[in-house]
Amino acid sequence: MTERARVLAWRLAILLVLVAAWEWLTGIKAIARTPGLYWIDPFFISRPSAIARRFAYLASGNARLTLWQMALSTIQSTLWGFLVGVSTGFAAGLVLGRHDRLARIFDPYIVAFNSLPRIALVPLITMIFGFGLLAKIVLAWTIVFFIVFFNTFQGARSVDADLIHSARFLGGSDRQIMRTVIVPSALAWTFAALTPSISFALIGVVVGEFLGGESGGGLGYLIIQSLGTLNAADMMVALISLGVIGIVMALGIKQLERRLLRWRPEYRGRA
């Protein structure tokens, strides 16, 4: 068995054990034949079999709002928030990273804004942008921007001065040096921020969906709606779906990184 297969087998085994224990423990009564008293009460954490049934129902066409529609809405808002946050954060990081005075001027504003708990901005964002897609994108942006900004800023500052000098001796203009030296060098730093950025974009979007109501409601709406009906199974469906979305997006980032940073020794021979 290869190392890869062995790791995979262990992962599967852990999953199976956990799911089986969950199913079994939420099925045995604490006192025989007394309804409602369980060792672990499925009312709060549901059961795998119940979750699977709800999953099948929500994924079928019978539900008023299907799981696919909700997942798609969440994915769409997350990707938009991510893209807008990454591109603006990257651009701002490059500019301030290469202009010391600008960086000094903006420093207190950036620190102040970044130390605000983003959740405190939710009511204001709702007031301004309403409950729709835009509000979710803005919320995700307020988090992603700063993560990408700080990393790119560091990356742009720590470009080896001798690389820039040698580019200058080879005849590079400021613009050409930005494109051929500073951007590729900073990208390695930016990429380190992208995986957490995806998670934070999801956080922003889900919080937005808590408030957003049914219009374009994503998985966050499913969670809030299930809270209203005290339906733990539906919540679990939403949580599991969010986990899967997070994993798939993180894998996508990893692939992109492998392509764009294939010059790095750690990706050698794996492109």
Chain residues that interact with another protein, rule: CB under 8 A:
160, 162-163, 165-173, 176, 180-181, 184-185, 261-265, 268
Of the chain, the end-to-end C-alpha distance in Å amounts to 24
Shortest distance in whole angstroms from residue 261 CB to another protein: 8
Q: Give the C-alpha separation, 115 to 99, whole Å.
A: 23
* CB closer to another protein, 158 vs 173: 173
Shortest distance in whole angstroms from residue 186 CB to another protein: 11
- Which among 198, 229, 204, 90 has a CA at the least distance from the CA of 142? 204
* CB closer to another protein, 172 vs 196: 172
Shortest distance in whole angstroms from residue 263 CB to another protein: 4
What is the DSSP code (8-state) at residue 131? T
* CB closer to another protein, 3 vs 162: 162
Shortest distance in whole angstroms from residue 159 CB to another protein: 11
Residues 6 or more apart whose CB falls under 8 angstroms from that of 106 comprise: 96
* CB closer to another protein, 163 vs 253: 163
Shortest distance in whole angstroms from residue 172 CB to another protein: 5
29: which strand partners?
38
* CB closer to another protein, 21 vs 170: 170
Structural tokens at position 58 = 């929500």
- Which among 112, 113, 74 has a CA at the least distance from the CA of 242? 74
